[in-house]
Homo-oligomer: A and B are copies of this chain.
Amino acid sequence: MTAELDFSRGAAFCEGRFVPIAEAKISILDWGFTRSDVTYDVVHARNGAFFRLADHLDRFERSLKVFRLAPPYDRGQIETILGQCVVLSGLRDAYVAMVCTRGRPRVAGSRKPADCDNTFAAYAIPWIDVIPLDVQARGAHLWIASTPRIPAASIDPTAKNYHWGDLTRGLFEAHDAGADTAVLLDAEGYVTEGPGFNVFAIRNGEVLTPDRGALEGITRQSVLDVCAAAGIPARIAPLRADDLLDADEVFCATTAGGVMPASRVNGRILSNDRPGPLSLRLRELYWSLHDTGRHATPVNFDDADHPFKT
């Protein structure tokens, strides 16, 4: 059946079946939409293999626990579904998302999250760079927004969520100022993260990334891993706006883009207005880590009959 469908722009698993990405939709009444009561994770495939898939699945499970969500599929089934989305899409480099929403109440009229049947969806679409490649090439221009990040006490930033209103407001501030993207501080003035990425500062050869208000990024972990392997000092530490403004180099890190160098923060020029040397080295080390195969889970592209039945 699926053989007749066009998955070339992406393949999704939605409402229990595989569909082209254009048909992947959720009900306008799903609390995942009307209450942003949803969690997700994104893993990437590179050269036909998932990268750090187990880490992403581990984090997805932690996020599910935080939000008290339970998808109707177990970890093994989810892994099969993700693989099948990539197979159907035919994409060897892909952005692969898994999503669990609260769904809708089983009990008519109930307003209790516990009465809802949670839903699961997944999709594989062409690779995305959170900061476009041409911008990465000259170094991203970051903007420290005045909008404060939603506090961890209200929404746990280590559990992936779609509460992006503060990040969107920050993005508008950045674009209004002619910058590429935003970095948000918390109410106490500490650096947290940007829309979809962790941020790093390099000072005197040391690599620093915020200790609060941010996702515990898996790409962030890869950066710390390659630093450790290469003997580059790196630390998770409190950072303030001045630590970015006065840094020798700044870069961003995320699954959808990898290590992405910056060259300006609030108009202030860093590393001669181009990607800094240590940022470039870390980018190279990050991609080299893929070549080792250490974190690779190959996708079986011959498996086009998608054994996963619902």
Contacts and interface: CB of A to CB of B under 8 A. Distances in A.
A143 to B, nearest CB: 13
Contacts of A129: 109
B187 A151 contact: yes
Interface string A182-196: 000001000000011
Say how many copies of this protein the assembly contains: 2
How many of chain A's residues touch chain B, expressed as a range?
35 or more
A161 interface: yes
Contacts of A147: 153-154
Contacts of A230: none
Given A113-B168, A168-B113, A162 B35 contact: yes
Given A121-B28, A147-B153, A195-B111, A68 B172 contact: yes
A205 interface: no
Interface in A167-211: 167-169, 171-172, 175, 181, 187, 195-196
A70 interface: no
Interface stretch (A18-26, A238-246, A267-275, A285-293): A18-26
Interface of A: 12, 14, 21-22, 24-29, 32-38, 40, 67-68, 99, 102, 109, 111-114, 121, 123, 125, 128-132, 147-151, 153-155, 161-169, 171-172, 175, 181, 187, 195-196
